[in-house]
């Protein structure tokens, strides 16, 4: 398959300075490839299947394209990082099931073709605004009592804020834009184009521990959206059963009760933690009919689906926001093994 002509339009400034050899990405590391500018961007724009070992760095541009397309189709891999991993593999398997393809989690030809029915550019140019540069940004303390002293838990840095906006790891954005001046308004950056329509209203929600996921189903029981999630731990197991959604709180405060945290520091007291993307529950709390349980965002998107939670269901902030827009009070929610 070839990229549509429109897919090449955002790349004109790079193409003007690229040489013919930039059209071929040799087998060197991802960091080296993006430093040279054009090669990784061109490979990500042009549909090109995974070659050889999926973990090989030479496949980073293809994985970047796959992750962006999955994200736009509401089968997100979590934080986009241009790497093969368990979140991406599970997202591919869920996408395959939704399209009645062989469910393997591997990027076979049929799956590749189904993904590439979306021919829109996967990378676009973004220019920093005065608001982007101004922030404010401040480092976040680790200690919960120190967090309780803050009036808002905003972003620690501009690159962290951009990572949230473009569903990407800060490391990926830095690699795609190695020489960018993040202190100057108007600086041009290459970023994943993750803008997508919101998912339709869900007839039901399923949280699946074995799949580390939150899924939205329509009134026919069909899964039409699936997001990675962390779903409890040995100390705080997922409360298996049928529940309902009670409501949604956006930009919530977090009521910290150290008695509910097995790993709370000695001497900690109850505290009300201010809102913000670095709040312990992120930017959204979806309240469940089970006391003290909910589905929520996180200040650490790179850990979703890879680490345990304190019993609740943790998603990236952007996926939690999409979920919040798709549910309503009374939406049935199944929590299963």
Q: Return the structure tokens found at 205.
A: 């929600």
Q: Return the structure tokens found at 147.
A: 């967090």
149 Cβ neighbours under 8 A, 6+ residues apart: none
Which residue do the tokens 């591997």 mark?
A: 106
Question: Of 142, 174, 133, 169, whose CA–CA distance to 278 is shortest?
Answer: 142
Predicted confidence band of residue 36 (pLDDT cuts 50, 70, 90): very low
**What are the distances in angstroms from CA 246 to CA 36, 100, 279?**
51, 33, 21
**Please, where are the H alpha helices in the chain?**
12-17, 30-35, 38-45, 60-72, 86-98, 109-115, 130-134, 144-148, 158-165, 170-176, 317-326
Question: Of 186, 218, 184, whose CA–CA distance to 199 is shortest?
Answer: 218
Tens digit of each residue's pLDDT (9 = 90 or more) over 167-204? 999 999 998 998 999 999 999 999 999 987 789 999 99
335 Cβ neighbours under 8 A, 6+ residues apart: 207, 209, 231, 238, 239, 240, 241, 242, 243, 313
pLDDT recorded at residue 6: 31
Statement: residue 53 has pLDDT above 70: yes
pLDDT recorded at residue 52: 80
Tens digit of each residue's pLDDT (9 = 90 or more) over 106-123? 999 999 999 999 988 899
Tens digit of each residue's pLDDT (9 = 90 or more) over 210-248? 999 999 999 999 999 999 999 977 777 899 999 999 999
Mean residue pLDDT across the chain: 85
Question: Of 324, 303, 325, 330, whose CA–CA distance to 314 is shortest?
Answer: 303
Spatial separation of the C-alpha atoms in residues 334 and 337, rounded to whole Å:
10
Neighbours of 133 (CB within 10 A): 16
Which residue do the tokens 């030479």 mark?
A: 58
The residues pairing with 336 across neighbouring beta strands, listed in sequence order, are: 208
Statement: residue 94 has pLDDT above 90: yes
pTM equals 0.85
Lowest mean pLDDT: which of 55-59, 202-206, 284-288, 296-300? 55-59
Neighbours of 21 (CB within 10 A): 11
């Amino acid at each position: 398959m070839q990229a549509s002509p429109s897919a090449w339009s955002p790349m004109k400034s790079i193409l003007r300075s690229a040489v013919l050899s930039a059209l071929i990405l040799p087998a060197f590391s991802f960091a080296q490839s993006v430093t040279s500018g054009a090669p990784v961007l061109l490979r990500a724009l042009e549909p090109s299947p995974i070659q050889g070992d999926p973990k090989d760095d030479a496949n980073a541009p293809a994985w970047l394209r796959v992750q962006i397309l999955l994200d736009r189709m509401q089968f997100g891999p979590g934080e986009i990082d241009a790497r093969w991993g368990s979140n991406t593999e599970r997202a591919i398997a869920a996408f395959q099931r939704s399209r009645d393809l062989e469910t393997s989690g591997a990027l076979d030809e049929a799956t590749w073709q189904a993904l590439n029915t979306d021919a829109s550019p996967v990378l676009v140019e973004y220019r920093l605004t005065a608001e982007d540069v101004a922030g404010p940004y401040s480092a976040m303390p680790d200690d919960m009592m120190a967090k309780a002293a803050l009036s808002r838990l905003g972003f620690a840095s501009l690159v962290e804020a951009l990572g949230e906006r473009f569903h990407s790891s800060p490391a990926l954005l830095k690699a795609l834009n190695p020489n960018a001046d993040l202190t100057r308004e108007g600086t041009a950056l290459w970023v994943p184009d993750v803008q997508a329509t919101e998912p339709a209203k869900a007839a039901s929600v399923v949280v699946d521990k074995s799949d580390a996921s939150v899924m939205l189903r329509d009134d026919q029981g069909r899964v039409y959206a699936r997001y990675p999630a962390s779903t409890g731990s040995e100390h705080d197991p997922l409360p298996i059963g049928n529940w309902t959604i009670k409501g949604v709180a956006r930009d919530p405060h977090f009521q910290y009760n150290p008695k509910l945290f097995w790993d709370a520091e000695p001497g900690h007291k109850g505290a009300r933690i201010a809102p913000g993307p670095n709040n312990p529950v992120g930017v959204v709390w979806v309240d469940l009919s089970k006391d003290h349980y909910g589905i929520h965002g996180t200040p650490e998107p790179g850990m979703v689906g890879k680490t345990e939670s304190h019993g609740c269901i943790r998603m990236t902030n952007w996926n939690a926001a999409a979920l919040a827009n798709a549910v309503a009070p009374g939406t049935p929610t199944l929590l299963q093994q």
